Structures are given as C-alpha cells and as structure tokens.
Structure 1
Amino acid sequence: MFASPVPTFYKIWKKGDVDGFRPDPYLASVINCALWILYGQPFVHPGIILVVTINSVGFTLELSYILIYIFYAPSNKRTKVLLVLLAEALFFLAVATFSLKVYQTQSSRSLFVGIFCSFFGVCMSMSPLTVMGK
C-alpha cells in the first residue's frame, strides 16, 4: 500500500511538474503513520513492534513522496503543504505530550492515542476522495 504511489512520483520526477496532482492522501498518511508509531511505543502500548515497524516504513515513504512533491510544486502549493506538515507536527506533539502528562497508565494512554489512530486511519482511507472534489 505504501509503495503504490511510486509510479506517480516517478512521473512527477520525469516531468518535473506536479500538474494538478494533489498531495492530500500522502499528508493524511504521514499523520496516520506518526500516530501509529506513537501508539506502538512501550510507554503507550507495549509489545507491538510490528505496528511500529510497518508504520515507520510507511512514514518514511510518505514523507519522501511529499518531499518530491514540495520540490516540484509551485510556490503557492509548496507553502500550503509545508503549513499542513507543520500543523501535523504540532498536533502530533500535542497528542504525545498530553497523553504522557495526563494519562498515568499504559491502558489509558493506549485508549487515548488509539482513538486518534483510528480516526486518522479512516481519514487516510478517505483522503483519495478529495480528488473527486476537483
């Protein structure tokens, strides 16, 4: 699933332009993978190293796609993507900090972070539908 956009980004790289391509699915995947990596940490939900492994690979690939997009996008689109990435990073830090400061047990942290993981998993699955609005 994470490698499926490779042909698209190969075309962007060869053409040197993003045309009307939208980065929404990849931005949704970045926050989704980041939250699942947090969820798989021992202080949140111990013993699920495979969740961390697959989402680390996904996070790296999705971030690579976004970097390629940023490199070839016009400045107005580049700025929007960078602002979304900044918002995602701040949101991730807020969830991580809040879960560690407020929730004292692994089960409560696991539930709190897991709710966000589930929500953003749905968002990631629905994000390709944003192309229909275009």
Structure 2
Amino acid sequence: MLLFCSSLLFFACTKTRTNRNPYLIETSFEYQVNLNLPQFNALQNIGNPVFIGTQGVGIKGVYIINTGFDTFRAFEASCPNLSPSSCSKIVSSGDIATCPCNSYEYSLFTGQLLNRPDGEFLYDLLEYNVRSSASTLIIYN
C-alpha cells in the first residue's frame, strides 16, 4: 500500500509539458514589435491584423491584432486542425482568417472557429502571449 501511494505521489508531481493542440508542435520564441515602425502602423487601429512571417516566430508565422483598450492578441498562422503542410497557413481578410485546406474561418479577435460543424470537436487558433510596454509589444511562447 505504501509503495502504491508513493508511486501515485511521484507521478502526480512529475512535470510534463503538453501541447495545447496535437497538430501543432509548440516552440519557444520571443519577438519584439516596435509600434512606431511603418510596417506596424496598422496596429494603431482596432481590428487591423499584421502578419509576422519572420523565421522562428511561431510555426508558420503569427498574426497580431489590436482588440482595443490597449490590448493586443497574437495567434499562430497555422491552420489549427491540420498538421503543417503546404496549404495549412491561414490567410487573413480583415479580422477573419481562413484555412485554404478546409475553408474553416477564424476570428482574429478571439481565435474562435466561426463555421464549426455541429457535433465536431475542432481546435481554435493557437494563441501566443503578448506583453506591452510603451510602444513595444513582446510576443512570446
């Protein structure tokens, strides 16, 4: 009995990092955005996403959007319900992003799948952390 309780305690305390989405392998990164630079001017207005395709930032890049009240959100540019492939990079049109492989649409304000089929469990966009300081955003995972 003591051995059983000890093994339960051991496994309960073991730290393992789990992915939030089994299709997407999460990597650690940190990227700074200077809101004063011209390529990020769109982020001065609510609802205008900006794509960052710098290698090493996310899997297929990151979309950042100003959601108002000095709040910014960042989402992975990979389709969340597919393993990365040649067609699994979402494309934005305003604040809606579409996966060209399966035509699923996602809100860049919330990351939610907008045209979710009834009864199916599907993933929303993978969200990254955003920290702001004056005119700099830091996107990280």
- Looking at CA atoms only, which structure, 1 or 2, has the larger radius of gyration? 2
The TM-score, its normalising length taken from structure 2, stands at: 0.22
The TM-score, its normalising length taken from structure 1, stands at: 0.23
**Greater strand percent: which structure?**
2
**Greater helix percent: which structure?**
1
